[in-house]
Every structure is written in C-alpha cells, then in structure tokens.
C-alpha cells in the first residue's frame, strides 16, 4: 500500500494542473496520459489510464490491483465513480451538481450486492472558472442530522491554487489545522482529460514546490522537478520530500497524442 501511495502522491499533485472547463483536450495536441511508472526507493508502481471516444477518463488501474472507474451524464459532467481501494469492498461516489455546488455521497456494496449509504458526504463549491474554492465534509449523527466536521478553502491566482487552509471541528469550534502554499512553473500541465472528473484542485501549471504548515507552526516542504517532452508536457517528474519522511519518487509519463 505504501508503494501505491507514493505513486498517487505524484499523480494527484501533478493533476493539480490545468484549469477546469468544458474542453477535454490538451491544447491543440490532443494528448492523453496512458501510463505513469514511478520508482520510490526501488519500489516500482504503475498506473494505467483508459478513455472513451470523447477522450474522457473512464478507468485507471494500478499494478497493485486498484481499479477506479468514472461515469458521466449527458452533459459531460461526472455522475459517479467506483473504486476497490478497500478490496474486496467496492465503494461508489455519486455526484449531484446544482449550479456552483456539487454534493458527493458515498456508498459501499455489501455481501448481498446491495449498495448501502455511508454516514458521511462532501460538498464542493466552485468559482465561475470551475475551480474548487471550498470543500466541506459532513457526518450523519445518530439523530439523522448532518453536521459539518471539516472544511477547507482554496485561494486561486491566474488559474493556479496558491493557498489552501484546512479547518476541523474541535469542541464545536473550527480550528485551523494546517495551511498549504504552492509555487508553479509556466509549462503545460497534462491534466486536461481529467477536467470535471477528479474534483481535485486542477490548476493551469505544474507544481514546483509546496509547503505545509501545521497549527503549531511546524513546516514540511516538498519539491517537484520536471523534464518535458517536445509538446511541453512533463515526461519525467522527481518528487522530493525535504523532510525526509517520504524520500524521493521519480515518475515517467507516457502519452497518446492524435
């Protein structure tokens, strides 16, 4: 599992790049990521990506057997997704869009094949550009009342998420737990086919450094260095945790371009 997490850290951080809109192509080159191979301390992990005829991501799998699927409505927005992260259990997320608000509910399939709702859900607020500016996490109590227990806010500039604050409920009051700040390059980020899919903070450019500051003032910094292909997209990424806790991960990206 630790090997897979190393791959997903790089995958998710890179896909904090490319501003969300209705276009699902990478500029004019129409490229799609097909494979990411990551090496973390000699442990090699692979992610494989599959797309439909509209170039929307419909499935990605890992070399450790994890499978994620994505389904869209007639307007092209994400409608549901499934994953087997807790195999053999299968989880399904359902997305309900109402203007600038998206509500995500989660259910699990029991031994009888019946989908059972969980007691938590998420709400995402989007700005006019489709960027996530607020995420809320809710828990259902024994009286069937939903309570917000965590939330985060994102600040954006020029299509890039520059700052995120994470707040958590403590004794009925919300306290700031940590703050994330990031810096970016000025190159193309390869996440265009994932717009309206992953609901991560998809940005215009690639993250080159990040800093997490917790409530006590302690910091953890990380860096990303890139090699680019002829179309200006990352072909190799080196992620370095400067605190030393996660070490270094090197990832190679493969594309299919029309």
pLDDT tens track for 2-30: 444 344 444 444 444 333 333 333 344 57
pLDDT digits (tens, 9 = 90+) for 25-75: 334 457 788 999 999 989 999 999 999 988 888 998 999 889 999 999 998
Dist CA 51 CA 207 (whole Å): 25
CA dihedral for 230, 233, 236, 239, sign (positive or negative): positive
The answer to whether 151 and 141 have CB atoms below 8 angstroms apart is no
Domains by residue range for the chain, with CATH: 2-257 (2.40.128.720)
In tens, the pLDDT along 169-205 reads 999 899 999 999 999 998 888 775 575 666 666 788 8
Q: Is the pTM of this model over 0.85?
A: no
């Amino acid at each position: 599992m630790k090997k897979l997490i190393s791959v997903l850290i790089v995958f998710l951080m890179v896909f904090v790049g490319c501003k969300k809109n209705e276009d699902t192509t990478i500029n004019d080159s129409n490229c799609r990521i097909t494979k990411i191979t990551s090496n973390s301390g000699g442990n090699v992990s692979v992610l494989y990506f599959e797309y439909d005829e509209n170039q929307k991501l419909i499935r990605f799998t890992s070399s450790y057997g994890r499978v994620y699927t994505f389904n869209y409505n007639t307007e092209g927005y994400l409608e549901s997704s499934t994953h087997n992260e807790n195999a053999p259990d299968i989880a399904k997320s359902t997305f309900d869009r109402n203007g600038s608000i998206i509500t995500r509910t989660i259910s699990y399939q029991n031994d009888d094949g019946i989908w059972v709702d969980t007691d938590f859900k998420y709400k995402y607020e989007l700005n006019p550009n489709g960027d996530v500016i607020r995420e809320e996490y809710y828990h259902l109590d024994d009286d069937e009342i939903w309570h917000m227990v965590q939330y985060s806010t994102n600040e954006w500039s020029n299509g890039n998420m520059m700052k995120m604050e994470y707040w958590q409920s403590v004794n009925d009051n919300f306290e700031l737990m940590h703050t994330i700040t990031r810096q970016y390059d000025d190159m193309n980020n390869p996440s265009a086919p994932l717009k309206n899919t992953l609901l991560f903070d998809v940005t215009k450019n690639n993250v080159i450094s990040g800093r997490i500051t917790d409530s006590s003032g302690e910091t953890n910094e990380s860096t990303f260095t890139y090699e680019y292909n002829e179309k200006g997209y990352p072909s190799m990424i080196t992620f370095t945790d400067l605190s030393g806790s996660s070490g270094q991960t090197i990832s190679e990206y493969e594309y299919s371009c029309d």
